[in-house]
Copies of this chain bind each other. A is one copy, B any other.
């Protein structure tokens, strides 16, 4: 947001209070639609009602096209509008955004809006509503520009002038044959610099990179990022053009994906901004309690070694040192594995990757183990104890590293998202294995350091 916008808000607010419709619209339409949206969202329910009388459904739609993605309580906003106004607005929105909005409502509300809508728009929206979440189909829009291969450049430009306002993006023009099959693409840039007499088929590129309607949205995001595209055509399995996906929606996918990986590593949904501590707690508790129950198995395991601890209480001193360090190492290896899976950089085989991770674990374990061996040896004046701690740490780190890379890779192979709540599970699991390794090694050598 820039400064000018912040200056406009109080002025707009005053016009609203004093019912100065014309002054309001003068200032309001000087703002970018995103800023209009921010103003709208800053109002209370009563002022929003006034805004619905100030703005046409189409003007409201332009605003909703930009703000829909951030809005968690979009269902409340729609419900406070007159149903006819709301369904008119949905008609004027780009189809993909209207679909996103409707996806946040109850089924019966969706049917209600679709039934008041004019049949053609309702049909277009219905077609998109049934695509599965996270597929190319679920984020595509049908407002693209398509021309035919036999047209001239001049007639294509003429056509653009006519339909340009309605399309979501006009900078790629897709070329189809008479049956709707995608046969080429031309950028508006190339169209503009081409000779007006030429035929589209002679200036278009025949190698169109496209995605299938059922493709994963993350794959689409990766392609748009790699190819630096502004939009990408979506086809059915027979290569008929169904819609396009634009770069602004891809930015949202990338953002969403990053937030979900981050959430997984932290064991909390960071996307859901809660309003009060009770809601925050309710969101965090399921993970915490699940992990707590898992941790109980570690406690039970330590319980088995209680006799050992009562003989050598010094052992208790190093439990958290070993579990903590192994947990850190496991988290590192997990994060690297999840990132590699996200980038699909699987150029090496499964077993070579696992082998590399075991070796990395051994090397880090060896050095960390040696460090702690010296530290403990000097601190406690007992190098045998140092050796036990260091050796246990090396083994614990190697196992944690292996688990950290193996688990996400196996989850991915099984078709699960490798990033879901992975961080805390790895540390909790590595607590268990670390304790097992630690007490077994300590048991073998304990005669050497019992005082």
Q: Which residues of A contact B (CB under 8 A)?
A: 1-2, 4, 30-32, 34, 66, 157, 160-161, 164-165, 170-171, 188-189, 192-193, 207, 209-210, 223-228, 230, 247-248, 250-252, 254-255, 258-259, 261-263, 265-268, 270-271, 273, 276-278, 280-281, 284-285, 287-289, 291-293, 295-296, 298-300, 302-303, 306-307, 309-310, 313-321, 323-325, 327-329, 331-336, 338-340, 345, 356-357, 359-360, 362-364, 367-368, 371-372, 375, 379, 423-424, 427-428, 431, 435
Distance A223 CA – B35 CA, assembled complex (angstroms):
11
Residue of B nearest to A315 (CB): B316
Known interface pairs A261-B262, A277-B359, A360-B281; A320-B431 also in contact (CB < 8 Å): yes
B residues near A375, Cβ cutoff 8 Å: 293, 296
Distance A412 CA – B308 CA, assembled complex (angstroms):
46
Residue of B nearest to A222 (CB): B1
In the complex the two chains form, is A298's CB within 8 Å of B320's CB? yes
B residues near A277, Cβ cutoff 8 Å: 356-357, 359-360, 362-363
Known interface pairs A193-B164, A316-B316; A266-B323 also in contact (CB < 8 Å): no
In the complex the two chains form, is B314's CB within 8 Å of A306's CB? yes
In the complex the two chains form, is A298's CB within 8 Å of B321's CB? yes
CB distance from A317 to the nearest CB of B (A): 5
Binding site secondary structure of chain A: helix
In the complex the two chains form, is A281's CB within 8 Å of B364's CB? yes
Among B30, B161, B320, B356, point to the contact of A192 (Cβ < 8 A).
B161
**Extra pairs beyond A230-B247, A280-B356, A289-B368 (4, CB < 8 Å):** A32-B209, A165-B189, A296-B379, A331-B424
B residues near A34, Cβ cutoff 8 Å: 226-228
B residues near A210, Cβ cutoff 8 Å: 2
CB distance from A90 to the nearest CB of B (A): 19
Known interface pairs A319-B316, A356-B276, A363-B277; A428-B324 also in contact (CB < 8 Å): yes
B residues near A315, Cβ cutoff 8 Å: 316
Known interface pairs A321-B299, A371-B289; A284-B360 also in contact (CB < 8 Å): yes
B residues near A263, Cβ cutoff 8 Å: 335
28 contacts across the A-B interface (CB closer than 8 A): A2-B210, A4-B207, A31-B207, A32-B209, A66-B226, A161-B193, A188-B192, A225-B248, A251-B254, A258-B262, A262-B262, A262-B339, A263-B335, A266-B423, A281-B364, A284-B333, A284-B364, A288-B325, A288-B332, A292-B368, A306-B314, A306-B316, A313-B313, A315-B316, A320-B320, A320-B323, A324-B427, A427-B427
Residue of B nearest to A312 (CB): B310
Residue of B nearest to A167 (CB): B189
Distance A296 CA – B313 CA, assembled complex (angstroms):
17
In the complex the two chains form, is B372's CB within 8 Å of A292's CB? yes
In the complex the two chains form, is A285's CB within 8 Å of B368's CB? yes
Distance A2 CA – B423 CA, assembled complex (angstroms):
33
Distance A278 CA – B299 CA, assembled complex (angstroms):
35
CB distance from A355 to the nearest CB of B (A): 9
Residue of B nearest to A250 (CB): B251
In the complex the two chains form, is A268's CB within 8 Å of B323's CB? no
In the complex the two chains form, is B288's CB within 8 Å of A329's CB? yes
Residue of B nearest to A314 (CB): B306
Distance A318 CA – B296 CA, assembled complex (angstroms):
9
In the complex the two chains form, is A295's CB within 8 Å of B321's CB? yes
Residue of B nearest to A362 (CB): B277
Distance A32 CA – B359 CA, assembled complex (angstroms):
39
In the complex the two chains form, is A268's CB within 8 Å of B372's CB? no
In the complex the two chains form, is A266's CB within 8 Å of B334's CB? yes
Among B265, B281, B357, point to the contact of A262 (Cβ < 8 A).
B265
Known interface pairs A31-B207, A367-B281; A273-B332 also in contact (CB < 8 Å): no
B residues near A302, Cβ cutoff 8 Å: 316-320
B residues near A66, Cβ cutoff 8 Å: 226-228
